[in-house]
Amino acid sequence: MKFSIRRAIAGDEPFLWQMLYYAAHMDEELGVSAESAKTNPDLVYYVENWGSGSADLGFVATSPDGSLAGAAWIRVMPPSSLLYQYVASDIPELAIAVAQAFIGSGAGTALMCALLEAARGRHKAIVLSVRANNPAKRLYERVGFKTVATIRNRVGSESSIMLCDLPE
C-alpha cells in the first residue's frame, strides 16, 4: 500500500497520544485506556506539548483513503530517562506505532525511512526501546539499529535498547 508521509505538527498531538498507547503496548493491559498514557509518568514526555520545541521531529502516515495510519517521532527526553544510562543524554528517543488496521502494510517502514532521513545532520544518533518479542525489532535492525543493552521494562518483561548512528 502507498502511504502519504508528512511532518507531524502540533495539531497531531491527539493522534500521537493514540499511537503512544500502542507503542507502549498499553492496549495489552487490562482496563487501561488510551487516555492513561497522558498521566503515566514514564510516558508523558513522549508527547506532551508536541511541536513546542524546535527539536521535536516526527512524521504521520496517511493511507490512500485519508485514514491516519501511523506515526514516528523523536524527542530528547529528560535526563532521568532510563535509556540515558546506556547512551548520551542528548540522543533523542524514537516512538513509533502503526494503527492496527495498517500493521504489516509498509507504513512503519515508510515512517522510519522518512524520520531517519530527516534526522541525519540534526542528530548524531537515535535510541529506542523495544520489547524482545516485538516483531518490529526486525524493522529496526533492517534500518540500522543495533542492540546496546537489555533491560527490564515498565511491565517487567525484557526489552532491548537499540541505537542507530546517523553519520552525516
Q: What domains sit in the chain, N to C, each tagged with a CATH number?
A: 4-165 (3.40.630.30)
How many angstroms separate the CA atoms of 65 and 2, rounded? 10
Say if residue 155's pLDDT is above 80.
Answer: no
Return the CA Rg of the chain.
15
Q: Closest by alpha carbon to 49, among 96, 91, 9? A: 9
* Phi/psi of residue 85, nearest 5 degrees: -75, -15
pTM for the model stands at 0.92
Per-chain mean pLDDT for the chain: 91
Give the neighbor-by-neighbor strand order of the sheet with 4-7: 4-7, 57-62, 68-75, 93-98, 125-131, 158-165, 146-152
Q: What is the pLDDT of residue 92?
A: 94
Instruction: Take residue 10 and report the three cell numbers written for it.
Output: 502540533
Question: What is the model's pLDDT at position 22?
Answer: 92
- The confidence score (pLDDT) of residue 34 equals 80
Query: Could you give the CA distance from residue 144 to residue 41 in angstroms, rounded to a whole number?
Result: 29
The helix, strand and coil proportions of the chain, stated in percent and rounded to the nearest 5, come to 30, 30, 40
